Structure 1
Amino acid sequence: MAKLDGRVVIITGAARGQGEQEARLFTAEGARVVVSDVLDDQGEALAKELGAPYVHLDVSREEDWQAALAAARTAYGRVDGLVNNAGILRFNALVDTPLEEFMQVVQVNQVGCFLGMKTVAPALAEGGTIVNTASYTALTGMAAVGTYAATKHAVLGLTRVAALELAHRKIRVNAICPGAVDTPMSNPARLDPDADAEETTRALDELYRKLVPLGRIGRPEEVARLALFLTSDDSSYITGQPFVIDGGWLAGVTVI
């Protein structure tokens, strides 16, 4: 039996990057997924490949969440899990960040996670799961990504509150906290059809060789495997927890 046989899971930001790998892995493990994103062409193509429904979902809009939930119920009759993966990153010094930019990141990363849980949790079957995508920066600071870090700290707080409030229904809520991962968000070359994405991956590995104890940037499929663990019965006694997946980056620095 596959790890997610028959489970229905909504995955946000599933058109590419970590969300795409989660959708692929979950499907391979027997789940029936709902692919959702604002990147409609890519999302629809992936959904067609996986034999899954696609729904346009701007996670900052409550009506889009209601439509996504309705699509899952129409396609499968129920919902067992949610992976709040969608997110955006902006680089800026704190004192140089325009309020408009700050609020844009908050709306997607923080409000999107809140609305996802608010909308989907009441519909989850008993024993359901929610996996929120926080970040390495939810547990520490990092210069030039203050807005992103603030929202990811908030996601971790929301995760813990939801875990407490939903435990009576045996719904488990956990957060994954990736470090640097080779996705279009951190490797823009993956968005350029003329660029050599593998070459930039090698360059990123070299960049992180001294920062990360394991000596390379993370791969989205590695994050997907953590999301699978937290959605499956393998993590049946785990809730309200952050799971760092960063190659050891948070552990500290090497000075020799």
Structure 2
Amino acid sequence: MVNIAAGSRRALYRSRAEQAPRDPTTCHPSQHQGHENPTRRSCELAEANKTVLGAAGAIQAASPFLEETKDLLKPIQFGVVGILKHLATGNRDRIITGYEPSSLEPPSLTSPLILLIALLGRTDEMPTKSEGTRVLVNLVKTVWAQDADATLELRRVLLSSNGVVPCIAEMIRTTQFPVLQNEGVIALTLLSASSDNERGALDIVFTSLMTIPPPPLPSNEDEDEDKSEPSGLPKSLLDVLTDIVKNVSLKYPNEIRCNVCVLLESIATRSE
């Protein structure tokens, strides 16, 4: 049996990781192209453990690091975003309202959700933006998977928030990963299809669909940085969704294209 020193093993792992394409939906980049990653399971928590960690105060202890006064601690903020992403499924109330599930208090103005949306609006760190938006997507999917009456207040908060839809729309528009675009499309579909009592949510979806973002400022470092968008003028969300349906690049499965059509139909139907 070959015994590899700890330092050598770490160097070997780094070398393999650098050579592999990075899929943001897995915990380790050593596998891609749709193959199951055996290390991913070790990065995921059992549902019961997520609830236990949330009840123990992990979210309340970590979320203050998302405040603007902590912006110099960017690696820590990224770590906190990861905590919220992994604990979202079992702690939707604690993240969205800032209180325990049994609380009758209105949502806190300093809830983890509010702090996260504010962070996404001011940070230029693309990993933080991407992972933070996935927290929002996870919250939407988790809440809408539950009984509508039992989650009525949580749905109202997500629908009435001015930051949830724009952040998800921005992820769809800018990310290079079809799987992330699909996650965002599903979340927007759930929000737009449930906005009969929250007309403002549908208006935000429609506005995000048509808004053309300003071109990026020129920089001498652009050539050395990874870009989420191709060169040229930025596209609106509608343009990106249209490109997905057309699939000229041949990188979008039919399932994703169908999901985009469902989203567009949902918006068109409720805009009449």
TM-score range, shorter chain: 0.3 to 0.5
Between Structure 1 and Structure 2, the one with more strand by share is 1
Q: RCO greater where, 1 or 2, for CA within 8 Å and sep 6 or more?
A: 1
